[in-house]
Chains A and B, each alone.
Chain A
């Protein structure tokens, strides 16, 4: 394997095939269910952004909050795993944190463009200014040496998605 993309391909595939993501691609996720995903993402994206590596153009906090507000959901469900992941992120070095930025933010910019067409509401969290520059910036800061950490980011994501799927399908 000679690239980070190849080294994380298996986990990337697993994440894309979680039941929660399938619900999105099938366009059957409800506004409440999608709001709950966003609320959970807000917890760990905030932890990532506390490292100070994500600039204002890349920051997802305001768009995620705007998307939650737009959907005006009727119930909020939070997975404790999101907090555990946020705590884990707080322990990372800056270089390790780049691996998590690679998984989440690059994911939002690349596959996110497909997701944008499938989610309820305007999906502003998938809209980026200067996307090409941000992609290049993230890629310059990661390498194959970050593959273990990037795979951990996928593992956390998959665990959270699975837990959240169970919770939101039980409550809806």
Chain B
């Protein structure tokens, strides 16, 4: 199996997980030329599964934003891979109003440096360039963590303005990622990239229009 196959399979598993959540509603998403499935439910504000697959390059991005009165962290999982190697894998439960508890026992080799804008990630974040074997282990763990994460959503409430501030800061910092931006600009151009990053990938809680 190549990385491309493995990423496709994983994206489909994530998608199935969200579709099986009770009372989930698909959020309308403009067409950009690749798979972007977004969902909302009484459990979370927004979940997004992005699957971008070309013959020799694939990206999977999964993000879950809790409702703006829920102090739970933001679930984030991203992999960028060529046919035979992954150039980056990032996995975290990123805090909004309180520090994130450890969420995995995985021991990771070849960890990556935290980017300059990456102070939004928890101290337990995983960032690496995994082998295919490692990738499969991390992918299984990411699904397992997602299942448990879903059980924790909506159990507590916090002040709206604090959660909003935390979630919005997460979105603002993510939008500073020049690698994401430049890759998108090459494919869809400046204007559509701006729209995609602001409205689809990292929609801040301003007017809550999706």
Contact = CB atoms under 8 A, between A and B. Distances in A.
B186 interface: no
Given A76-B40, A86-B69, 19 more contacts: A42-B23, A61-B23, A61-B42, A62-B23, A65-B23, A65-B25, A72-B28, A73-B28, A74-B28, A76-B209, A76-B210, A77-B207, A78-B208, A79-B208, A80-B208, A83-B69, A87-B160, A167-B207, A167-B209
B157 interface: yes
Given A39-B40, A42-B42, A75-B209, A80 B160 contact: yes
Interface residues of A, number: 25
Interface string A9-46: 00000000000000000000000000000010011001
Contacts of A69: 25-26
Interface residues of B, number: 18
Interface in B24-44: 24-28, 40, 42
B68 A80 contact: yes
A42 B42 CA distance: 7
A68 B115 CA distance: 40
Given A76-B210, A77-B208, A83 B67 contact: yes
Contacts of B28: 72-76
A171 B199 CA distance: 14
Contacts of B67: 43, 83
Interface string B192-210: 0000000000000101111
Contacts of A6: none
Contacts, number: 53
Nearest to B43: A46
B207 A39 contact: no
Contact of A87 (B40, B42, B69): B69
Q: From DSSP, what is the main secondary structure of chain B's interface residues?
A: loop
Interface of B: 23-28, 40, 42, 67-69, 157, 160, 205, 207-210
Contacts of B205: 80
Interface in A40-71: 42-43, 46, 61-62, 65, 68-69
A68, A83, A84: most-surrounded residue (chain B CB, <10 A): A83
A158 B28 CA distance: 27
